[in-house]
Amino acid sequence: MFSGIIIDLGRVRAIKSGGDKHFEFATAMDTSGLDIGASVCCSGVCLTVTEKGEGWFGADVSAETLAKTTMSDWKEGTNVNLERALKMGDEMGGHIVSGHVDGIGETVSVTEDGDSRRLTFEAPDPLHKMIASKGSVTIDGVSLTVNEVEGRRFGVNIIPHTQQATTLGALSPGNVVNLEIDMLARYVARLLEKG
């Protein structure tokens, strides 16, 4: 589990093909305490650490993950939001994030709003029905509060710190993002399904 509070803006340093793809990430995180088998959220995708060194770690990525996330578009040099898994007693600054991407959204517009930036996204069917005004949403691993919802579109604001410390500050219309809906919304939707 994660909180959606990004601790490092890393980057893809290498991608290797085999049975699965193998991604290596450069990071400023202290990797000495990062165990093999640990979970790291990489722009919203929970990955298992399979190797590591000073200033980097690697993870294997299945075809399913590549098909369901934006990872198939990542290249060497792609910036990635990184968060280590929560430990008991850690501060819960965002909301409960599983690192299981529910779908890919598209950036519709980016406008300045004082010192903040207002971002509008379009969510795919049926995900948009589980995004609520003043609820939580995870965009590329970042925990955010939804401002408003209109049909399949929803808006968020990002403050200057979030613009600088995450990949969200570089988004422009047409860019795709990993979306994870609030876990509570996911279970409520399942309970309300008919038949």
H/E stretch holding 113 = strand 103-113
Residues of the chain with pLDDT > 90: what percent? Answer: 82
Q: Which fold has domain 8-84?
A: Elongation Factor Tu (Ef-tu); domain 3 (2.40.30)
Band (156; pLDDT cuts 50, 70, 90): very high
Residue range 103-192, CATH number: 2.40.30.20
Do the domains 8-84 and 103-192 sit in the same CATH topology, yes or no? yes
Residue 139 has pLDDT above 70, yes or no: yes
Band (187; pLDDT cuts 50, 70, 90): confident
| Number of CB atoms found within 10 A of residue 64's CB | 9
Whether residue 126 is preceded by a cis peptide bond, meaning omega within 30 degrees of 0, is yes
Residues 166-183: what's their mean pLDDT? 96
pLDDT tens for 32-69 read 999 999 999 999 999 999 999 999 999 999 999 999 99
| Cβ neighbours for 166, distance < 8 A, ≥ 6 positions apart | 6, 9, 81, 140, 141, 142, 158
Ordered by start, the domain boundaries in the chain are 8-84, 103-192
Strand pairing category for 79-84 and 56-61: unpaired
Q: Rounded to whole angstroms, what are the CA distances from 4 to 21, 66, 77?
A: 25, 21, 22
CA 63 to chain centre: 18
| Number of CB atoms found within 10 A of residue 125's CB | 8
